[in-house]
Amino acid sequence: MKLDCSGLACPEPVLQTKKALETLPNDSVLEVIVSSLASKENVIRFAQNGGFDVRAQDLEEGKSLITIVKGFTCKTVVDAKDESFLDKTLFLKSDKVGEGELGAKLIVGFLKSTLELPKLPRRIVCVNQAVLLTTADESAPITEVLKAFEAKGVEIYSCGVCLEFFGVTDKLKVGKIGNAFGTIEMLFGGEGTISL
């Protein structure tokens, strides 16, 4: 769906975007055209706070095109990118593999080794205690490993409810905040899921 909000003053573009997103079914893409910096920032702010995936692109004559994805559109993402990825999701439920100190070492080792694979999993989804991996200190070895995944184009999502549960939402170092719907889409949408 396309929404042309050029020439409209605040808050009209946000209100129209809100209305459109409410009526659109999941897995749809909303494109909003705006013609001022204020409207661009406001629409992006609104969509990001709603947990949507947002991209903005500057067009001619001071206009911007904002693309908002309602729900995760894994299939189109796979189609669009080159085939250096496996269509697999790595599903992490804990910040360890197994128990204790060894478990904490193992997860770093496992992920580090995975980085060496010729084809990487498409995405990493962290739920429950696994969100402590994406919110670890900058200096922690795990943060460096996850950032390396991200630099290679692997999408990393941390469960929003879990982040909140552990009170670490504002500590997210790498990847994005995911939601239940997106997680399920990823687990069932791709060719396979690997769970540790």
Partner 1 sequence: MNNEAKLTKYVKAAGCAAKLGPGDLTEALGGLSCTHENVLVGMDTSDDASVYYLDEERALVQTVDIITPVVDDPYVYGQIAAANSLSDVFAMGGEVATAMNIVGFDGCHHPRSVLKEILAGGQSKVQECGGIIIGGHTIEAPEMTYGMSVTGFVHPKKIYRNNTPRIGDVLILTKPLGMGILTTAIKADMLENSVIEKVASILATLNHKASQIMRKYDVSACTDVTGFGLFGHASEMSFNQVTIAFEMKNIPILDEARALADMGIIPAGAYNNKSYLSSKVHAKVPHKDEIILYDAQTSGGLLIAVSQDDAPKLLKHLLDEGLTYSSIIAEILPLGEKTLLYM
Provide the annotated active-site residues: 10
- Indicate whether 66 belongs to the interface with partner 1 (CB under 8 A): no
- Nearest-CA neighbor of 192 among 97, 91, 106? 91
- Indicate whether 43 belongs to the interface with partner 1 (CB under 8 A): yes
- Indicate whether 10 belongs to the interface with partner 1 (CB under 8 A): yes
Q: Are strands 28-34 and 64-70 parallel, antiparallel or unpaired?
A: antiparallel
How far, in Å, CA of 181 to CA of 40, rounded? Answer: 27
- Nearest-CA neighbor of 13 among 55, 24, 37? 37
- Indicate whether 37 belongs to the interface with partner 1 (CB under 8 A): yes
- Nearest-CA neighbor of 196 among 127, 139, 132? 127
Nearest residue (CB) to partner 1, 169 versus 193: 169
The position carrying tokens 């084809």 is 119
In Å, how far from its chain's centre is CA 76? 15
- Indicate whether 168 belongs to the interface with partner 1 (CB under 8 A): no
Question: Which residue in the set 5, 32, 35, 36 belongs to the binding site for partner 1 (CB under 8 A)?
Answer: 36
- Indicate whether 55 belongs to the interface with partner 1 (CB under 8 A): no
End-to-end CA distance of the chain: 39
Nearest residue (CB) to partner 1, 62 versus 192: 62
Binding map of partner 1 across residues 119-158, x = CB under 8 A, - = no contact: ----------------------------------------
- Cross-strand pairs, 32: 3, 66
Question: Which residue in the set 9, 102, 180, 194 belongs to the binding site for partner 1 (CB under 8 A)?
Answer: 9
How far, in Å, CA of 73 to CA of 71, rounded? Answer: 6
Count of residues engaged in binding partner 1, rule: CB under 8 A: 18
Question: Which residue in the set 3, 14, 159, 163 belongs to the binding site for partner 1 (CB under 8 A)?
Answer: 14
- Nearest-CA neighbor of 47 among 84, 13, 2, 9? 13
Nearest residue (CB) to partner 1, 11 versus 141: 11
- Indicate whether 29 belongs to the interface with partner 1 (CB under 8 A): no
* Per-residue tokens: 10: 């605040």
Site of interaction with partner 1 (CB under 8 A):
9-12, 14-15, 18, 36-39, 41-46, 49
